[in-house]
Each structure stands twice: as C-alpha cells, then as structure tokens.
Amino acid sequence: MKVKLVGWVIVLWALCVGKISAQNAAQAADNVLVAYFSWSGNTRTVAGYVKELTGGDLFEIATVKPYPTEYRQCTEYAKKEQQADARPVLKGKVADMSSYDVIFVGFPNWWGTAPMAVWTFLDSYDWTGKTVIPFCTHGGGGEQKCFSDFRRHIGKAKTKKGFICNGGTVGSVRPQVEAWLKETGVR
C-alpha cells in the first residue's frame, strides 16, 4: 500500500513538472522576435533555425532602396554607406515591439561590422527592459567589430553572447544554434 502511494506521488510529480515546462516553453514562444537582415540568404537560414527552435516570430529587416544584386557593386555601395554613417530607410516596422521581451537580431558581417540597415533598425526602438541578442554570419573575417558595435546600439537592453558562423557553413549549423540557444537560457 505504502509503495503504491509513493508510486502515485511520483507519477503526479512527473506530470506537474511536465506541465510546468510545457507552459514555460509556450511563454518563451510568445515573446520572442527573430529579426534579421540578409543579402544573399545565409543569415536568413540561421534566422530560420532560431525561429524554429524558439517558436518566435520572424521579421525581415529590408531597405526601401534595394542593395545592388551584384557582389562587387554591393560591397562598394555598402562601403559608401558605412563611410557616410547612413541610416537607410527600412520597408516596414515591427507591429508591436512592446509584446516582445527577447529579440534576436541577425545580420552578415559587412566591412567588419553590421550593415547600416541594422543600425536603422536598432535606432528605431526603445530597448529598455528587453534582452537583445545578436547572431552573425561572415565570409572568413569572423566577428571583427560586429558584436562590439552591436552592443553600442541597444541602449539599456540586456544582451547575451552572440552566435557567429561562416556563411558557407549555415547548412549544417543547426545543432550549434541549438546549443547556443540553450546557453542563452531562451530555449
């Protein structure tokens, strides 16, 4: 009888723990936004993993004036934008930023830092009280100033360690993205 009772207590405890973690997962899914800028698709792939793994909403940071589609032209255009400290106008706004607590922001390394369109995005919202976490893809240069510059554009927001990978590897980095998300505590 005593053994049976202990058995039932264990079963009930396991059910409660399961329910609570399911609720936590649902809550996390409700308040995550995955915003990204991507010119050739690599960062979009990583953004897709972050969305899948967190259950967050996806938002593409896109400019009204499109970037040149040819690589060299795009690099020259981006260099000029950076030298001018430009803030290219974006196509849309996040409908209700106040509904998000955790915002992932993904972008490629452009000339050692983020594309200027990402600064337009970050300058457009008040990040106070939110957690804003970067992820980045690069073409061999690594992190350079991507994350240090990022931290200067998020005001009083909290942040966590960013994720970075070579753009050529995005097809196989889902497990690393998953491990990083676990480390951040978001998933």
Ligand X SMILES: Cc1cc2nc3c(=O)[nH]c(=O)nc-3n(C[C@H](O)[C@H](O)[C@H](O)COP(=O)(O)O)c2cc1C
Q: Does residue 109 interact with ligand X by CB under 6 A?
A: yes
Structure token digits, residue 186: 């978001």
> By CB under 6 A, which span of 83-91, 96-104, 107-115, 116-124 interacts with ligand X?
107-115
CB of 124 to ligand X, least distance (A): 20
Give the one residue of 105, 147, 167, 187 binding ligand X; rule: CB under 6 A. Answer: 167
Is 51 one of the binding residues for ligand X (CB under 6 A)? no
- What is d(CA 119, CA 111) in angstroms, rounded to the nearest whole number? 14
Q: What's the distance, CA 148 to chain centroid?
A: 16
Q: Contact between 39 and ligand X (CB under 6 A)? A: yes
Tokens 């676990």 belong to residue: 182
- Least Å distance between CB 44 and ligand X? 6
> CA 166, CA 59: separation in Å to the nearest integer?
22
Which structure tokens are listed for 30? 């409700």
Q: What residue is closest to ligand X based on CB?
A: 167
Number of residues that bind ligand X (CB under 6 A): 21
Q: Which of 41, 92, 129, 155 binds ligand X (CB under 6 A)?
A: 41
CB 169 within 8 A of CB 142: no
Which helix or strand (DSSP H or E) is residue 123 part of? helix 116-123
The one-character DSSP state at 99 is G
Give me the residues that bind ligand X (CB under 6 A), please: 38-44, 74-75, 78, 108-112, 137-141, 167
